[in-house]
Structure 1
């Protein structure tokens, strides 16, 4: 380890409710929701018919017809978010040796929409047992391998350094950024383009979550269907989106006069080695990840100013997460504001961890904590300060953001103002 510190200098976001970081923060700070009835396909046969979709026009956001045909929707999101992050950062990548610039992209389900669409074509709507490959799009292989996401981003920026896809379910978006931070710290790269993207709103994904009753059946009130920590919640709302960051060594960023949103001060991940979808109620594994991330950041539990929760809106997760905060932060858990932006933008699986990192960095920039929308009647077992309904002005120098994923993955990341004392 070189002891290098890592800064976030650029942010690009595509999220339900609006493309671009400014639109994203406007929605969060206003407490608006972007959940609605599914429009991408006929959902009438499904238990859950609600999603958080993005109104996205690839051509309007600078993608050529050839790029649009070659890339799955999630890959398109990643490239567009990357372009915004680079512009926001103001970094001149051509001033860096290409092999010192790397890429990490997180994704839980890869090119789900592309594969789903192409299966319908080559199987003639499911009627052919032996599919006809002659009808397939020429770039079908790109849909099959999630590594194509990292390749597309690397091509877009000319990065010839480490290039990786991280797929750890719903913690992918935190883990991809955490891995990028480690590459800079150890000296393997000077700049990393890091983030995550998922576009899972398709019949196959909805069927999978219907089967385990993880998504909400509240299709009669889609705008208020995502209700983390509320006693009336009954499942999460599937979403889509992407967030990408420019990460640099802190001192190098300062030398070029870059705006620094935050330092990625600590990161840790753990597994519960317990159950594919089940969580132990004591939150021990998430608590251990939190403690480890805080230790790496050299930040005491009582110095955490805001927790950006996983807050999926399932009873199992919300109670598990609440227990983890109490276990790791002790009495301070009752004093620190906690909120879930999934109440507004849904759960975009592997992308949401990066989207929540973006929300955390913007909360620090504006000293505003986004709310947990739709929280009217808290679950009695979730008794912390979940910032219901409206954003709150709050001095926010240190943020803890966490993720929990199927398979038992538990991840935590600490963002802090770089001028803090490291004593």
Structure 2
């Protein structure tokens, strides 16, 4: 079976507009959550988000990418993909176009609610039922969920596999896992994989608020709102952004002298078959995903140093994940450290799993584990080592990355240091 290494990374997140700045924010324990400014949230129960700041699409994306047609999330995704491709070095010349692929997790495309409201207003004011036909034809492309993916393949001259995944909060985890499988099995030799999302519109905020999923306790102090595993957690904070990686067949990467950031060792994917919005109290689904990923990696639980948790800051998810970790690791669970990047960035939804992979790679590279911030009040039911408040210096050679989604979709990945002494 072919080995798969990671040779490039790119990011646009609430913590920074590139991978280096995002990692620095994570390891510093800095919150990227603040007042929501993409629309006026006056009157909404939640008025905060993990929002990307000072992003210059014109500087990050070439004009030939038709950036004016890309959605907000799509622009983040294309920028992160191009950064990852540059970070990987001269990768293109070593892989024929037919062996290059793209795999991305993203939310299903849909017309913006304001766009639909404008059409309705136009129909009312003109009395013309065909008012929607008076929209510019190009607006159809702007709402096509496939456009960012197609743009990415075009920019990379990639004619190999193109995979778009919409499994909500596990989307980028599935994309990375499927890219890993594709390279292992010879369907491609290099794939840029990750995810992008921006669910901070008024419709998304309203919908998640009505579900009771968002915290409404942080409007005045947004940096303290996301508090995974804390007894006072009251829901998650919506975020946005994109994180991408270059996954490459190891032999080709070594042949071109690539800088290897880490290695994808294992992938597990399951479904809870429980409820749409809740995680099973017994941790099932998550347990099977973690066990499957660890078994696939060829490692044992004793080889895992760090778990990058899904850690949403909701009552049910944090409890279910903790129960699952205890089942998977057994008596060894007290040795493993666990932390949640969502405490700092908010929930990047489809890009959340990829942000967790970025945290894993940074921990391996720098021997520092990012913290879980805002963990001020212990919950007696959640008694693992969640690395509260400050990053921890420690050697890290293998990391379990979790992502569990609405709808019950689960992904776990094992990311390890590159094992140079093994064939």
Structures share a fold, TM > 0.5?
A: yes
Q: Which residue of 1 aligns with 2:418?
A: 418
Residue 53 of structure 1, aligned match among 51, 54, 72: 51
In the alignment, the residues of structure 1 paired with residue 23 and residue 65 of structure 2 have an alpha-carbon distance, to the nearest angstrom, of 31
In the alignment, the residues of structure 2 paired with residue 173 and residue 91 of structure 1 have an alpha-carbon distance, to the nearest angstrom, of 25
SS of the equivalent of 1:319 reads helix
In the alignment, the residues of structure 2 paired with residue 351 and residue 131 of structure 1 have an alpha-carbon distance, to the nearest angstrom, of 37
Q: Which residue of 2 aligns with 1:269?
A: 269
In the alignment, the residues of structure 2 paired with residue 10 and residue 373 of structure 1 have an alpha-carbon distance, to the nearest angstrom, of 27
In the alignment, the residues of structure 1 paired with residue 329 and residue 22 of structure 2 have an alpha-carbon distance, to the nearest angstrom, of 29
Change (3 A) 1:28 1:66: closer
Q: Which residue of 2 aligns with 1:388?
A: 388
Displacement after TM superposition at 1:200 (Å): 1.2
Displacement after TM superposition at 1:63 (Å): 4.1
Residues 1:146 and 2:145 aligned together: yes
**Alpha carbons 2:65, 2:155 under 8 Å: kept:** no
1:103-114 alignment to 2 at 5 Å? Answer: 103-110=102-109
Residue 40 of structure 1, aligned match among 29, 32, 38: 38
Residues 1:302 and 2:299 aligned together: no
Displacement after TM superposition at 1:303 (Å): 1.1
TM-score by length of 1: 0.95
Partner deviation per Cα, 1:367-387 (whole Å, 9 max, x = no partner): 110000111112211100000
Q: Which residue of 2 aligns with 1:348?
A: 348
SS of the equivalent of 2:286 reads helix
TM-score by length of 2: 0.95
**Alpha carbons 1:115, 1:143 under 8 Å: kept:** no
Displacement after TM superposition at 1:60 (Å): 2.9
Unaligned runs of 5+ in 1: none
Residues 1:200 and 2:199 aligned together: yes
**Alpha carbons 2:48, 2:237 under 8 Å: kept:** yes
Displacement after TM superposition at 1:394 (Å): 1.2
**Alpha carbons 1:122, 1:134 under 8 Å: kept:** no
Displacement after TM superposition at 1:134 (Å): 4.5
Displacement after TM superposition at 1:66 (Å): 7.5
Q: Which residue of 2 aligns with 1:313?
A: 313
Count how many residue pairs are aligned between Structure 1 and Structure 2: 419
Displacement after TM superposition at 1:22 (Å): 1.1
SS of the equivalent of 2:66 reads helix
Residues 1:226 and 2:222 aligned together: no
Displacement after TM superposition at 1:148 (Å): 1.9
Q: Which residue of 1 aligns with 2:159?
A: 160
**Alpha carbons 1:198, 1:348 under 8 Å: kept:** yes
In the alignment, the residues of structure 2 paired with residue 285 and residue 254 of structure 1 have an alpha-carbon distance, to the nearest angstrom, of 37
Displacement after TM superposition at 1:9 (Å): 0.3
SS of the equivalent of 1:246 reads strand
Question: How big is the alpha-carbon RMSD for the aligned residues of Structure 1 and Structure 2?
Answer: 1.9
SS of the equivalent of 1:284 reads coil
Partner deviation per Cα, 1:192-237 (whole Å, 9 max, x = no partner): 0111000111011011101111001021211110000011110100
Of 331-340 and 136-145, more deviation after overlay is shown by: 136-145
Q: Which residue of 1 aligns with 2:119?
A: 122
SS of the equivalent of 2:285 reads helix
Residues 1:376 and 2:373 aligned together: no
**Alpha carbons 1:217, 1:234 under 8 Å: kept:** yes
Q: Which residue of 2 aligns with 1:188?
A: 187
**Alpha carbons 1:298, 1:422 under 8 Å: kept:** no
Partner deviation per Cα, 1:155-194 (whole Å, 9 max, x = no partner): 1111011112011111001000101111111111111011
1:92-103 alignment to 2 at 5 Å? Answer: 92-103=91-102
Partner deviation per Cα, 1:302-321 (whole Å, 9 max, x = no partner): 11010000000001000000
In the alignment, the residues of structure 1 paired with residue 90 and residue 5 of structure 2 have an alpha-carbon distance, to the nearest angstrom, of 13
Change (3 A) 1:297 1:126: farther
Partner deviation per Cα, 1:221-273 (whole Å, 9 max, x = no partner): 11110000011110100000101111111121111111111110000110011
**Alpha carbons 1:109, 1:350 under 8 Å: kept:** no
Change (3 A) 1:413 1:66: closer
**Alpha carbons 2:265, 2:415 under 8 Å: kept:** yes
In the alignment, the residues of structure 2 paired with residue 308 and residue 127 of structure 1 have an alpha-carbon distance, to the nearest angstrom, of 51
Change (3 A) 1:118 1:287: same
Residues 1:8 and 2:10 aligned together: no
